[in-house]
Protein backbone atom coordinates (compact mmCIF):
# COMPACT_ATOMS: atom_id res chain seq x y z
CA UNK A 1 0.00 0.00 0.00
CA UNK A 2 2.88 2.35 0.67
CA UNK A 3 4.03 1.95 -2.93
CA UNK A 4 0.52 2.56 -4.25
CA UNK A 5 0.20 5.75 -2.18
CA UNK A 6 3.57 6.98 -3.42
CA UNK A 7 2.62 6.30 -7.05
CA UNK A 8 -0.72 8.06 -6.51
CA UNK A 9 1.05 11.23 -5.38
CA UNK A 10 3.53 11.04 -8.24
CA UNK A 11 0.71 10.67 -10.76
CA UNK A 12 -0.79 13.84 -9.28
CA UNK A 13 2.49 15.68 -10.09
CA UNK A 14 4.16 15.41 -6.68
CA UNK A 15 7.82 14.73 -6.12
CA UNK A 16 8.15 12.03 -3.48
CA UNK A 17 10.47 11.24 -0.58
CA UNK A 18 10.56 7.51 0.17
CA UNK A 19 11.71 6.52 3.66
CA UNK A 20 12.08 2.97 4.98
CA UNK A 21 14.58 0.34 6.11
CA UNK A 22 13.81 -1.65 2.94
CA UNK A 23 16.38 -0.20 0.55
CA UNK A 24 15.51 -2.58 -2.26
CA UNK A 25 11.83 -1.68 -2.05
CA UNK A 26 12.65 2.03 -1.94
CA UNK A 27 14.78 1.82 -5.07
CA UNK A 28 12.12 -0.16 -6.95
CA UNK A 29 9.44 2.39 -6.10
CA UNK A 30 11.76 5.29 -6.92
CA UNK A 31 12.41 3.79 -10.34
CA UNK A 32 8.67 3.58 -11.05
CA UNK A 33 8.19 7.21 -10.02
CA UNK A 34 11.11 8.43 -12.11
CA UNK A 35 9.68 6.69 -15.17
CA UNK A 36 6.60 8.86 -14.65
CA UNK A 37 8.73 11.97 -14.94
CA UNK A 38 8.70 12.90 -11.24
CA UNK A 39 11.54 13.14 -8.74
CA UNK A 40 11.93 10.41 -6.12
CA UNK A 41 14.35 10.84 -3.23
CA UNK A 42 15.34 7.62 -1.48
CA UNK A 43 15.92 8.13 2.23
CA UNK A 44 16.91 5.06 4.28
CA UNK A 45 15.41 5.42 7.75
CA UNK A 46 14.66 3.36 10.84
CA UNK A 47 11.51 4.87 12.31
CA UNK A 48 12.36 3.53 15.79
CA UNK A 49 15.43 5.78 15.95
CA UNK A 50 14.74 9.46 16.59
CA UNK A 51 18.11 10.53 15.20
CA UNK A 52 17.26 8.72 11.96
CA UNK A 53 13.96 10.58 11.74
CA UNK A 54 15.60 13.99 12.22
CA UNK A 55 18.29 13.17 9.65
CA UNK A 56 15.76 11.92 7.10
CA UNK A 57 13.57 15.01 7.44
CA UNK A 58 16.62 17.25 7.12
CA UNK A 59 17.72 15.39 3.98
CA UNK A 60 14.23 15.69 2.48
CA UNK A 61 14.12 19.43 3.10
CA UNK A 62 17.60 19.79 1.61
CA UNK A 63 16.48 17.87 -1.48
CA UNK A 64 13.15 19.61 -2.16
CA UNK A 65 13.02 22.70 0.06
CA UNK A 66 9.69 21.83 1.71
CA UNK A 67 7.37 18.98 2.68
CA UNK A 68 3.70 19.47 1.83
CA UNK A 69 2.29 16.01 2.54
CA UNK A 70 3.31 13.51 5.21
CA UNK A 71 2.03 9.92 5.12
CA UNK A 72 2.91 7.93 8.23
CA UNK A 73 2.67 4.36 7.00
CA UNK A 74 5.14 2.19 8.91
CA UNK A 75 3.74 -0.83 10.69
CA UNK A 76 4.41 -4.31 12.03
CA UNK A 77 2.04 -6.92 13.36
CA UNK A 78 1.89 -7.93 17.00
CA UNK A 79 -0.13 -11.13 17.08
CA UNK A 80 -0.27 -12.72 20.54
CA UNK A 81 -2.78 -13.40 23.25
CA UNK A 82 -2.74 -11.05 26.22
CA UNK A 83 -1.14 -13.79 28.32
CA UNK A 84 1.68 -14.18 25.80
CA UNK A 85 2.63 -10.53 25.30
CA UNK A 86 6.31 -9.86 25.98
CA UNK A 87 7.78 -6.51 26.91
CA UNK A 88 10.14 -6.69 23.94
CA UNK A 89 7.33 -7.25 21.42
CA UNK A 90 5.10 -4.62 23.06
CA UNK A 91 7.85 -2.00 22.83
CA UNK A 92 8.68 -2.95 19.23
CA UNK A 93 5.07 -2.64 18.05
CA UNK A 94 4.55 0.65 19.89
CA UNK A 95 7.81 2.11 18.58
CA UNK A 96 7.04 1.28 14.93
CA UNK A 97 3.27 1.78 14.86
CA UNK A 98 2.85 4.76 17.17
CA UNK A 99 5.93 6.41 18.64
CA UNK A 100 7.71 6.66 15.30
CA UNK A 101 4.68 8.31 13.70
CA UNK A 102 4.44 10.84 16.52
CA UNK A 103 8.06 11.89 16.18
CA UNK A 104 7.98 11.91 12.37
CA UNK A 105 5.04 14.28 12.65
CA UNK A 106 6.89 16.45 15.14
CA UNK A 107 10.01 16.64 12.95
CA UNK A 108 8.10 17.42 9.75
CA UNK A 109 5.63 19.67 11.56
CA UNK A 110 8.21 22.33 12.29
CA UNK A 111 8.48 22.93 8.55
CA UNK A 112 4.76 22.49 7.82
CA UNK A 113 3.78 25.16 10.33
CA UNK A 114 5.90 27.64 8.39
CA UNK A 115 4.09 26.65 5.17
CA UNK A 116 0.64 27.37 6.69
CA UNK A 117 -1.06 24.74 4.54
CA UNK A 118 -0.18 21.05 4.55
CA UNK A 119 -1.55 17.53 4.87
CA UNK A 120 -0.84 14.71 7.31
CA UNK A 121 -2.24 11.22 6.70
CA UNK A 122 -1.76 8.65 9.45
CA UNK A 123 -2.35 5.06 8.39
CA UNK A 124 -4.35 3.40 11.14
CA UNK A 125 -6.34 0.18 10.91
CA UNK A 126 -9.82 -1.12 11.56
CA UNK A 127 -8.15 -2.99 14.45
CA UNK A 128 -7.75 0.42 16.10
CA UNK A 129 -11.53 0.83 15.97
CA UNK A 130 -12.89 -2.65 16.74
CA UNK A 131 -11.21 -5.32 18.89
CA UNK A 132 -9.80 -8.42 17.25
CA UNK A 133 -8.59 -11.46 19.12
CA UNK A 134 -4.81 -11.82 19.53
CA UNK A 135 -4.27 -8.24 18.32
CA UNK A 136 -4.27 -6.25 21.56
CA UNK A 137 -0.77 -4.79 21.09
CA UNK A 138 -1.33 -3.82 17.46
CA UNK A 139 -4.86 -2.58 18.22
CA UNK A 140 -3.74 -0.38 21.11
CA UNK A 141 -1.03 1.17 18.92
CA UNK A 142 -3.46 1.90 16.09
CA UNK A 143 -6.12 3.22 18.47
CA UNK A 144 -3.49 5.50 19.95
CA UNK A 145 -2.56 6.71 16.47
CA UNK A 146 -6.20 7.54 15.74
CA UNK A 147 -6.51 9.59 18.93
CA UNK A 148 -3.15 11.24 18.22
CA UNK A 149 -4.50 12.24 14.80
CA UNK A 150 -7.57 13.87 16.34
CA UNK A 151 -5.49 15.73 18.92
CA UNK A 152 -3.07 16.86 16.22
CA UNK A 153 -5.97 18.12 14.11
CA UNK A 154 -7.15 20.29 17.00
CA UNK A 155 -3.72 21.68 17.80
CA UNK A 156 -2.61 22.44 14.23
CA UNK A 157 -5.88 23.61 12.69
CA UNK A 158 -4.76 27.20 13.33
CA UNK A 159 -1.82 26.58 11.00
CA UNK A 160 -4.14 25.38 8.22
CA UNK A 161 -2.76 21.85 8.51
CA UNK A 162 -5.25 19.03 8.01
CA UNK A 163 -4.52 15.74 9.81
CA UNK A 164 -6.65 12.68 9.09
CA UNK A 165 -6.48 8.97 9.80
CA UNK A 166 -6.94 6.39 7.06
CA UNK A 167 -7.95 2.99 8.42
CA UNK A 168 -7.72 0.11 5.95
CA UNK A 169 -9.23 -3.31 6.38
CA UNK A 170 -7.70 -6.36 4.71
CA UNK A 171 -5.69 -5.58 1.57
CA UNK A 172 -4.01 -8.30 -0.47
CA UNK A 173 -0.22 -8.09 -0.24
CA UNK A 174 2.74 -10.39 -0.76
CA UNK A 175 2.84 -10.93 3.01
CA UNK A 176 -0.73 -12.26 3.33
CA UNK A 177 -1.42 -13.72 -0.12
CA UNK A 178 -0.78 -17.32 0.95
CA UNK A 179 -2.89 -16.91 4.10
CA UNK A 180 -5.97 -15.87 2.15
CA UNK A 181 -5.76 -19.07 0.13
CA UNK A 182 -6.14 -21.19 3.29
CA UNK A 183 -9.40 -22.20 5.02
CA UNK A 184 -8.59 -19.74 7.84
CA UNK A 185 -8.12 -16.97 5.31
CA UNK A 186 -11.41 -17.82 3.65
CA UNK A 187 -13.17 -17.51 7.01
CA UNK A 188 -11.82 -13.97 7.29
CA UNK A 189 -13.05 -13.15 3.78
CA UNK A 190 -16.49 -14.52 4.63
CA UNK A 191 -16.75 -11.94 7.43
CA UNK A 192 -16.30 -9.08 4.96
CA UNK A 193 -19.66 -8.00 3.49
CA UNK A 194 -18.21 -7.59 -0.02
CA UNK A 195 -16.71 -11.12 0.30
CA UNK A 196 -13.22 -10.23 -0.85
CA UNK A 197 -10.07 -8.48 0.26
CA UNK A 198 -8.99 -5.23 -1.36
CA UNK A 199 -6.55 -4.80 -4.20
CA UNK A 200 -3.75 -2.43 -3.04
CA UNK A 201 -4.72 -0.03 -5.84
CA UNK A 202 -8.02 0.55 -4.06
CA UNK A 203 -6.20 2.75 -1.54
CA UNK A 204 -5.44 5.30 -4.26
CA UNK A 205 -8.71 7.25 -4.37
CA UNK A 206 -8.89 8.03 -0.67
CA UNK A 207 -5.17 8.84 -0.62
CA UNK A 208 -5.67 11.43 -3.33
CA UNK A 209 -8.67 12.85 -1.46
CA UNK A 210 -6.79 13.31 1.81
CA UNK A 211 -3.63 14.63 0.13
CA UNK A 212 -5.34 17.24 -2.05
CA UNK A 213 -7.43 20.39 -1.81
CA UNK A 214 -10.51 18.17 -2.12
CA UNK A 215 -10.22 17.61 1.65
CA UNK A 216 -9.51 21.22 2.62
CA UNK A 217 -12.38 21.20 5.16
CA UNK A 218 -11.59 17.76 6.58
CA UNK A 219 -9.43 17.39 9.65
CA UNK A 220 -9.49 14.91 12.50
CA UNK A 221 -11.52 12.52 10.34
CA UNK A 222 -11.18 8.73 10.48
CA UNK A 223 -11.73 7.24 7.02
CA UNK A 224 -12.38 3.49 6.89
CA UNK A 225 -11.69 1.48 3.71
CA UNK A 226 -12.64 -2.09 4.61
CA UNK A 227 -15.41 -3.42 2.37
CA UNK A 228 -17.84 -3.01 5.25
CA UNK A 229 -15.89 -5.24 7.64
CA UNK A 230 -16.51 -3.23 10.82
CA UNK A 231 -20.26 -3.16 10.19
CA UNK A 232 -20.66 -6.60 11.69
8 A C-beta contact, residue 18 and residue 41 = yes
Q: What is the total residue count of the chain?
A: 232
Strands (E), 27-92: 40-44, 69-72
**Annotated active-site residue in 117, 138, 159, 170:** 138
What single DSSP character describes residue 225?
E
Which residues are CB-neighbours of 152 under 8 A, at least 6 positions away?
105, 120, 163
Per the annotation, the verdict on 138 as an active-site residue is yes
Identify which of 156, 151, 69, 137 has the alpha carbon closest to the alpha carbon of residue 108: 69
Beta-bridge partner residues of 168: 225
Characterize the bridge pairing of strands 118-123 and 222-225. Answer: unpaired
Give me the active site residues, please: 138
Amino acid sequence: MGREMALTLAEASADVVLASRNIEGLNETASLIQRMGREAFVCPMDITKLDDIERAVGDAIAAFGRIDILINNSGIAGEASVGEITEEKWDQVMDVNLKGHVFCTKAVGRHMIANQYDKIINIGSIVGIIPMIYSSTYGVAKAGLILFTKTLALEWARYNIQANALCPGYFLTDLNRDFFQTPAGQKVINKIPVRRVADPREIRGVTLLLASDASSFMTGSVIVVDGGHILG
